[in-house]
Structure 1
Amino acid sequence: MTPVARCLVPFLLLLVAGCAQYENRRGVEAGWTDAYMQTLQPGVTTRAEVMAALGPPSQVIALEGESILYYLFERSDGEGIVLVLYNRMQIDTQYDRAIFFFDQNGLLTDAASRIAPADNG
């Protein structure tokens, strides 16, 4: 093997090893479709019904006279290069979220949701 090849092989191995992909998913998967949200009826739908349909929330908030169920799902995708003298990461994070307000009797008073558009790139 020539001296140039001996130097080039480790450099190429370091370069290839420096490529990175990133993917992260955490929280509660979005089960709150637009169709589901339209079935909710303030004053009729109960906290138990929402939890039965969507599972445990990411967070429960208790306020005076009302409670809130907050659902959040975070997804991140990215890529980068990690080298000895140069590092670069590009990460795109999207959040799906839904929030449900209930009165002291456990009846829905208001709800809102947003599902981030899927990245087609």
Structure 2
Amino acid sequence: MNIRPQYHLRPSPRGLLAWDVRQLIALAAAQGLQPHWVRLDEIAELDQRYWFGEPGDEPTPRAIAEHLKLVQAADTDYPILLDAQGRLMDGMHRAVKRLSQGHDEVWALRFATTPEPDFVGIAADALPYAD
């Protein structure tokens, strides 16, 4: 699977934490994580502000339409990624697609130990996005 550079971001007292999603996928494969069904109601991020959390990143109709395109194109054959506590690290569009289709579960991989972030304290727009 060829995936564009993207990051899972979380604020922290140490500064912004960023995980390279491509590295997370490779790590999950290297660890031999096995996919399993996870109930959508166990994914807390489905009920939290997620895509529109940065200043200036407003949920305008145009921005929502862009996410709708990504939800429609999402391939739910690929499992989402969860950290050791069950927090979403990759796959919100896939989870939303399953939810919008009336499903109760989504295919997921869960790390036994949450990987260390690839970047700490670097602004999201300063992360490397070129291939």
TM category, shorter = under 0.3
Using structure 2 for the length normalisation, give the TM-score.
Answer: 0.24
Relative contact order, higher structure (CA 8 A, sep 6+): 2
From the CA coordinates, give the structure whose radius of gyration is larger: 1
Using structure 1 for the length normalisation, give the TM-score.
Answer: 0.25
Higher strand share: 1
Higher helix share: 2
